[in-house]
């Protein structure tokens, strides 16, 4: 199952080789741990997760939200160990699909690729649609137009080189962290309930009654909690542009998880103890609570920071998604004209066609009525993590066991435990979310069976950059 990484084949025409086989399609190594961490943190977008995704958790989990996110963060440590080992062993812009496909077989890699596309292609426009609400204190703009403008701005930024984007997203990230810190300070300063409330899950029921949060509700919420900090995996997508990836990928993954968990968890705990009542907590109007705790000026500042967080998320997600499409084209996942287009590198060192292919459709989607897809995204993230953990079990077999790479502690117990826990979390998700995600995967499997598999000598051949042994 580890025969998916191939050099150019003798007897196969040059134009049928993987796009990077001759070394002509390469990304530039231009960033270190700091730049990579800034970009990866920006993909986690702590403020975006805090202000856009967490309010839905407050509605379902009430005071158990912080506990659920904390449990999710602990699970993510095991996930981060798997990503760190596989990301340094298989440093490819393809991310999960390259890691899993190389170690567990090309079909499994293809399934992971589709799951990652569900996560990273649908979420940016949905998040971008929230921009208008947070720009309201200074300008009124329609929701679809605001979302489309954010996606187009993110696309333009994605056409620049990665070093420039690291600085852009870094500046936005500082404002995000400041906003989160302000919320944390104000929430703790206006505490309405003790810290023990964080361990006893209750939420507002009908007629103002208090309802206990069940264990099954917390387990179900874990899928979304995993998504809240999911962006730390972006480090593996940047592995072809990180200097010394064998060392820096693991550092970037682990630093990002630690920082993002703190930036999200502290304000969530502060909001939980500082909300005026359980109904206000369930409503999730964080900007309104900030205004009540302080003043309208501070509330406006927080709203603008949230808008910047959404723009920041758009920029980094476009960057991430374009790298995935670039890598899939280099590995010949599509018909040849599409492969040639997606693997084209522009003057700034970015895959510009792939960037446009991600950003422009995202802008168009902002004009399409889209229901909240967080449940489907949670299923996709959980399934992807399970397959990454399975691949980690093969990371020390055969020729891979002696390859220089960061190695996780407590292997294989960590990936085995992760598989068991995440499988249970997946089992607790709604039938609709499971069926929709499963349907997408089934269609992708048909594409694999009727297009990719008959062309397996020339298509979907997972490759690594030439300097993989750095």
- 74-113 residue pLDDT tens: 998 999 999 889 888 887 767 788 889 989 888 999 999 9
Q: What letter does residue 141 receive in the DSSP assignment?
A: -
Q: 161 pLDDT band (50/70/90 cuts)?
A: low
Q: Is residue 24 part of a domain?
A: no
Cα(327)–Cα(25) distance, rounded to whole angstroms?
10
Q: What is the pLDDT of residue 5?
A: 42
Q: Which domain holds residue 290?
A: 35-198+212-455
DSSP-assigned beta bridge partners for residue 5: 462
Q: Is residue 190 part of a domain?
A: yes
Q: Which residues of 115-153 are buried (b: 16+ CB within 10 A; e: fewer)?
A: bbbbbbbbbbbbbbbbbbbbbebeeeeeebebbbbbbbb
Q: Is residue 309 part of a domain?
A: yes
pLDDT exceeds 70 at position 3: no
Cα(134)–Cα(52) distance, rounded to whole angstroms?
10
User: What value does the mean pLDDT take over residues 353-380?
Assistant: 79
Q: Is residue 22 part of a domain?
A: no
User: What value does the mean pLDDT take over residues 112-128?
Assistant: 82
Q: Is residue 87 part of a domain?
A: yes
Q: Is residue 395 part of a domain?
A: yes
Q: What is the pLDDT of residue 452?
A: 92
Q: Is residue 8 part of a domain?
A: no
Q: Is residue 465 part of a domain?
A: no
**The domain spanning residue 424 has which CATH number?**
1.20.1740.10
pTM of the full structure: 0.77
Q: What is the pLDDT of residue 159?
A: 81
Q: What is the pLDDT of residue 389?
A: 94
How many structural domains is the chain composed of? Answer: 1
Cα(38)–Cα(387) distance, rounded to whole angstroms?
27
Q: What is the pLDDT of residue 177?
A: 85
Cα(320)–Cα(330) distance, rounded to whole angstroms?
16
Q: 205 pLDDT band (50/70/90 cuts)?
A: low
pLDDT exceeds 90 at position 413: yes
């Amino acid at each position: 199952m580890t025969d998916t990484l191939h050099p150019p084949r003798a007897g196969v025409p040059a134009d049928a080789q993987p796009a990077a086989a001759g070394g002509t399609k390469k990304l530039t190594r231009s960033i270190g741990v700091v730049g990579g961490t800034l970009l990866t943190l920006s993909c986690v977008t702590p403020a975006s997760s805090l202000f856009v995704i967490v309010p839905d958790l407050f509605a379902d989990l009430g005071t158990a939200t912080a506990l659920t996110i904390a449990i999710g963060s602990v699970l993510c440590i095991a996930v981060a160990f798997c990503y760190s080992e596989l990301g340094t062993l298989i440093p490819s812009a393809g991310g999960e699909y390259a890691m899993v496909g190389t170690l567990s077989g090309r079909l499994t890699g293809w399934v992971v690729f589709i799951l990652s596309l569900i996560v990273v292609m649908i979420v940016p426009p949905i998040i971008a649609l929230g921009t208008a609400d947070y720009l309201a204190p200074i300008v009124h703009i329609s929701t679809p137009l605001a979302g489309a403008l954010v996606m187009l701005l993110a696309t333009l930024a994605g056409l620049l080189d990665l070093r420039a984007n690291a600085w852009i997203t870094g500046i936005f990230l500082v404002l995000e962290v400041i906003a989160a810190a302000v919320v944390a300070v104000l929430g703790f300063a206006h505490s309405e309930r003790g810290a023990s409330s964080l361990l006893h899950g209750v939420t507002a029921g009908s007629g103002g009654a208090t309802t206990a949060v069940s264990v099954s509700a917390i387990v179900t919420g874990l899928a979304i909690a995993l998504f809240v900090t999911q962006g730390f995996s972006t480090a593996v997508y940047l592995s072809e542009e990180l200097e010394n990836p064998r060392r820096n990928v693991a550092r970037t993954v682990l630093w990002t998880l630690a920082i993002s968990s703190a930036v999200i968890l502290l304000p969530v705990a502060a909001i939980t103890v500082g909300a005026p009542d359980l109904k206000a907590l369930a409503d999730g109007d964080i900007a309104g609570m900030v205004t009540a705790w302080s003043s309208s000026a501070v509330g406006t500042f927080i709203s603008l920071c949230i808008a910047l967080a959404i723009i920041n998320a758009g920029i980094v997600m476009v960057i991430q998604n374009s790298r995935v499409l670039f890598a899939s084209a280099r590995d010949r996942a599509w018909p040849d004209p599409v492969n040639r287009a997606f693997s084209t590198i522009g003057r700034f060192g970015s895959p510009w066609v792939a960037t446009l292919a991600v950003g422009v459709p995202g802008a168009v989607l902002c004009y399409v009525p889209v229901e909240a897809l967080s449940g489907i995204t949670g299923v996709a993230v959980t399934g992807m993590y399970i397959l990454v953990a399975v691949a980690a079990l093969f990371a020390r077999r055969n020729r891979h066991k002696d390859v220089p790479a960061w190695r996780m502690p407590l292997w294989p117990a960590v990936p085995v435990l992760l598989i068991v826990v995440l499988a249970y979390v997946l089992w607790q998700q709604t039938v609709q979310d499971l069926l929709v995600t499963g349907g997408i995967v089934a269609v992708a499997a048909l594409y694999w069976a009727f297009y990719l598999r008959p062309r397996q000598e020339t298509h979907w051949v997972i490759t690594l950059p030439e300097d993989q042994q750095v």
